[in-house]
Structure 1
């Protein structure tokens, strides 16, 4: 019994560090996302349009940082992270950086405590996007040029399917669809295989009247619905 007592004391002492350890509850940002919820802070709202500019990719000791900025004229309407360090402090900092950007309408945002490296990379990439937008605006045709010739990027609605959310982003040159990009899609091999076919048919048809891809019916249906919403928003 006397031998058992020291063993018991040592066992309890060994468990104290385990009890005191609390794993971090922070979650990393999705690639898209993400980051803060896509609809509210990191992606254009459904049906929105504007000039979308990617900032430079900034290599930091924690990982690459790159932002994508949506402008309505000279106004920053959305910021989305394309690349960011896979770290809880980065994930926690991103929503604050984006919120401050939308308020400041510039790259003059404060460093987020605990995420200095990410904050520095964010500001650098953001400033590059702002500079590119300013250069584009100064080089654009005069205001008297027909609006129909302007490039326009429109995000379709987010369509919830049983396989996962589907959302597309469409680039128009005048009334011509010149590019389609998936913002959200189910994480499934059949979806990944179907997307290039759906986009190719869209560019040929210049409408949402595209065939269902075999084996990806649910994704095809969601794709057409989001695509039609973008087309309707562009024409509005």
Structure 2
């Protein structure tokens, strides 16, 4: 029995290296699956600049937008706050779609949601101004902006005269790109079915004619006359 004991001890001792190295396999696996922050992941996370617009209080409730920029391009817009109102809920998707198309705050007011539209545009413009100011702080961005500005026509938005009619007030806002009329929106218009039907026709005719020399819409003579008068005032103001 005394000879057997050393043999058992040596056998057990021979197994010790195996037991000591076995956990290292599990340790390697854990280290390979541990999350690592890489330069590419950081760059991906910071590729877009996110800017919050001003919080605008309205009679319907507060409204605030958040805008995501990729360079100078608006890639996404969402509302952080908005009035809990059916007209607002219907208007916001249209306003966002218009923003992504226009790449600016020069967008049309959604009929029936004037308060929401105005607040949205104010908050959006504030975000755009903040992003532009931040971009101008970068020398490369400044060079890029000056280059694009020299090749692209200047954009100017002018409000026409407020014209009071027996149906209600009419006032247009005209956006010019250089000498071209690129957009027309209604700041005020009578709440009347004939006006609602006539305004899109008048705007379409304006964009085609590039002037106030357009036809009166049948059945909406009063609105047409006031529209033309306010439109001409905006054209004259732009040229001044």
TM-score by length of 2: 0.47
Question: Which structure carries more helix by proportion?
Answer: 2
TM-score by length of 1: 0.47
Of structures 1 and 2, the one scoring higher in RCO (CA 8 A, sep 6+) is 1
